[in-house]
Amino acid sequence: MPRVKRGTKRRQRRKKILERASGYFLTKSKLYRQAQQSVERGLKFAFTGRKQKKRQYRAIWIVRISAACKANGISYNMFISGLKKAGVELDRKILADIAANDAGSFTVLVDTAKKAREKAA
């Protein structure tokens, strides 16, 4: 079996890691082993950060909807349960956008939720 020399492939792999590590402090951007560890750690944080971003956006949307609900005299959970009983299938992202940009439409949604809760009770 012929001997394999990894010159170009090894160089490509190391170059890719060192390019990802550019901007890191001291040896973490210069030496391969330290750069590899730092890049791997950074990618791990990037993965978890993408998951956390979704949670944080949802929390922001809920806060915005809740503030608009309080301005219209209803609590957030009563509003959401009323919309579900009314069969309105808008997600929280859209509701937060309506609450922030179109107060009139949001008031109509609040009235719809109140009527659906009264009808169900």
CATH number of the domain enclosing 37: 1.10.1900.20
d(CA 27, CA 50): 27
Q: Which residue would you say has higher pLDDT here, 52 or 8? A: 52
Please tell me the pTM assigned to this model.
0.80
pLDDT of 78 higher than 90: yes
Q: Range of 32's domain?
A: 9-120
Contact between residue 117 and residue 78 where contact means Cβ atoms under 8 Å apart: yes
pLDDT of 86 higher than 90: yes
Q: Give the pLDDT confidence of 29-42 residue by residue, as tens digits.
A: 999 999 999 999 99
User: Does 100 fall in a domain?
Assistant: yes
User: Does 3 fall in a domain?
Assistant: no
d(CA 18, CA 21): 5
Q: What per-residue confidence (pLDDT) applies to 87? A: 95
- What is the residue whose two structure tokens read 């730092």? 38
Domain count, the chain: 1
The mean of the pLDDT values for the chain is 95
User: Does 16 fall in a domain?
Assistant: yes
Q: What per-residue confidence (pLDDT) applies to 120? A: 84
User: Does 2 fall in a domain?
Assistant: no
Contact between residue 70 and residue 56 where contact means Cβ atoms under 8 Å apart: no
User: Does 105 fall in a domain?
Assistant: yes
pLDDT confidence band for 49 (50 / 70 / 90):
very high
Q: What per-residue confidence (pLDDT) applies to 22? A: 96
